[in-house]
Chain A
């Protein structure tokens, strides 16, 4: 298992070398710029909008990192032929896959942590600048700790997307992997529609297929509690636990499947 840690650290270092963390600068500029502009454009909803923007940007930036680095985790090594030197070492192939995955999840965790700190910093500044009347108008406090619930579920969702990208990366080209990962992400966000498919089609076979797909595809819509958190709606602890547990199980399935494919793959 020590090898997993080393590989993970290596993936993290590589992403730093690839200037992945530069997105944090863009995130900070986006938030600071938006906080100024939104103040000029809206009628006392600055804090709500910065929360919406900050959480959405955290998710989108994370999504791009998860997809575009995730798809190259294995396929890039194969393309560069550096996979041979890795396979020559006494490391289990499954550990390579697990290490790669852990490394990218670590990168995402660092990214998300810094983005969350930046979001809270901008909100603290806005709370300091706005008067007590504007604060009273907000549904939630500017520095509402409940936002961390949304960030936590964004992280789990991104970890699933990373697992999907890694899974496709073990047997497909980067372009196709990116298309399939994005496709699954969108399908996952709309999976609830598949549940109601039987109400709009007459064919029982199509309805059964749609129902089966609903259970098989990743249900990502459940990870989106951003709106509830911004509007001060309570997100129960057992909902968070159940959703996180579902996410962890789905990740396990994908990583095990990716390890299996990678273990059996012939690189000659």
Chain B
């Protein structure tokens, strides 16, 4: 009798579980059907709403769990930057915004500001955040001023953080082309105890040859060697490959110009290969062929190195 009751009980449980699974499947099916008929729409307003912009207020609301809240805001910053960058690079025809207010990355700084207020020692939020902000539109917010403001906020919290000073110098150098300010910041960073020895030489080279490709190469090589994050090291390697591509293009352009008859503009590499000036179609450091169109050598749009950076105006004597 007991066995019968037990068997009945087990059977009942299995039946109930099956019923729950069936109802759950039906609920999922109904949801799918509704989404087919009425697709979910995500408007820009939904994606780009930031209800709480005050870091101190959020710090209080987090009731002591502000580090965890900072982590969540940092994840949001990465998602926001990544999604916006992807959307803008897909739409390559999009022009740079007329004013910073209209920028597609308008929430980036407020999110980073909240993140660093919630956790003032969030090292990566300052360093990556400044890269996201300084990078020109559409790859980034194109706001080197905000990148510097963010790093200076970090310095107020940790005045001996030479990495932030190096990053400020870098923003001045690469995006503002203010080589004197860049050299000052590199110099200041080099004086912090524990800072790497090469910062002093970077400061000197920047002041003497700011804007020169050689100084850019030295800087990116230094960043690659000192990078303690995979992402930063890969970025430095990509930048070095871009500098190599700029050098390659100059050499190829000279070869193309020397072979071209006056008043003609060749397209394609056949003439140069035929004249044995080149052994084959030249490849950029990523392995993508360079293009020659109407006499101009350029990087292919398919190359992962595209677009090449705009070279700043040089200062000092040529190298």
Name the residue in A56, A220, A221 with the highest tally of chain B Cβ atoms < 10 Å from its Cβ. Answer: A56
A45 near B68: Cβ-Cβ < 8 Å: no
Chain B: minimal CB distance from A186 (Å): 6
**Contact code string B198-232 (vs A, CB < 8 Å = 1, else 0):** 00000000000000000000000000000111110
Are A227 and B78 neighbours in the complex by a CB distance under 8 Å?
Answer: no
Over the window 163-199 of chain A, the binary record of Cβ atoms lying under 8 Å from chain B Cβ atoms (1 yes, 0 no) is 0000000000000000000000010011000000000
Given contacts A49-B71, A56-B68, A137-B228, contact A43 B63 (CB under 8 A): no
Interface stretch of the complex, out of B117-125, B169-177, B247-255: B117-125
Given contact pairs A41-B79, A44-B231, A133-B228, A190 touches B60 in the complex (Cβ within 8 A): yes
Tell yes or no: B65 within 8 A of A by CB. yes
CB within 8 Å for A227 and B67 given contacts A41-B78, A43-B128, A190-B60: yes
Asked whether B290 is an interface residue with its Cβ less than 8 Å from the other chain, the reply is no
CB distance from A184 to the nearest CB of B (A): 13
A9 at the binding interface (Cβ < 8 Å): no
Chain A proximity of B225: nearest CB distance (Å) = 12
Contact A45 B74 (CB under 8 A): yes
- Please provide the chain A residues from 131 to 151 with a CB less than 8 Å away from any CB of chain B in the complex: 131, 133-134, 136-137, 139
| Contact of B27 with A by CB under 8 A | no
For A48, what are the chain B residues with a Cβ–Cβ distance below 8 Å? 71
Residue interface bits A207-229, CB-to-B below 8 A is 1, else 0: 00000000000001100101100
By a CB distance below 8 angstroms, the chain B residues around A189 are: 63-64
Residues of B within 8 A of A227 (CB): 66-67, 119, 121
Are A221 and B64 within 8 A (Cβ)? Answer: yes
How far, in angstroms, from A52 to B118 measured CA to CA in the complex?
13
With A133-B228, A137-B229, A227-B119: A43-B64 Cβ-Cβ less than 8 Å = no
B residues in contact with A69, CB < 8 Å: none
Residues of B within 8 Å of A, CB-based: how many? 24
Question: Contact at B65–A136, with CB atoms within 8 Å?
Answer: no
Q: How far is the CA of A72 from the CA of B54 in the complex (A)?
A: 38
A220–B230 CA distance with the chains assembled, in angstroms: 39
Q: How far is the CA of A137 from the CA of B226 in the complex (A)?
A: 11
Binary A-proximity of B121-150 (CB < 8 A = 1, otherwise 0): 101100010000000000000000000000
Q: Let me know if B71 and A53 touch, CB within 8 A.
A: yes
Contact with A along B56-74 (1 / 0, CB 8 A): 0000100111111011001
**A231 interface residue (CB < 8 Å to B):** yes
Q: 8 Å CB contacts to A: which residues of B159-180?
A: none
CA distance A49 to B67 in the complex (A): 9
Residues of A within 8 A of B63 (CB): 186, 189
- Verify if B20 is at the interface (C-beta below 8 Å from A): no
Provide the bound-state CA to CA distance between A38 and B233, in Å.
21
Determine the distance from Cα of A231 to Cα of B119 in the docked complex, in whole angstroms: 10
State A41–B228 Cα separation when bound (angstroms): 19
Assembly CA distance A44 to B60 (angstroms): 27
Contacts of A231 in B (CB 8 A): 121
Q: Which residues of B contact A60 (CB under 8 A)?
A: 65
User: Which chain B residue has the least Cβ–Cβ distance from A226?
Assistant: B67
Contact indicator A224/B231 (Cβ below 8 Å): no
Chain B residues closer than 8 Å to A59, beta-carbon distance: 65
Give the complex CA separation of A227 and B65 in angstroms.
9
Flag whether A85 is at the interface (Cβ < 8 A).
no
**A230 to B60 CA separation, bound complex (whole angstroms):** 20
Most buried by A among B67, B119, B124: B67
- Among A52, A137, A186, the residue within 8 A (CB) of B68 is A52
Name 20 extra pairs, CB < 8 A, besides A41-B79, A43-B229, A221-B64.
Answer: A41-B78, A43-B78, A43-B128, A43-B231, A44-B230, A44-B231, A45-B124, A53-B68, A56-B65, A60-B65, A133-B227, A133-B228, A133-B229, A133-B230, A137-B124, A137-B229, A189-B64, A227-B67, A227-B119, A233-B121
Give 11 A-B contacts (CB < 8 Å), ordered by A residue: A41-B75, A42-B71, A42-B74, A43-B78, A45-B71, A56-B65, A134-B229, A189-B63, A221-B64, A226-B67, A227-B67
B interface with A by C-beta (< 8 Å): 60, 63-68, 70-71, 74-75, 78-79, 119, 121, 123-124, 128, 227-231, 233
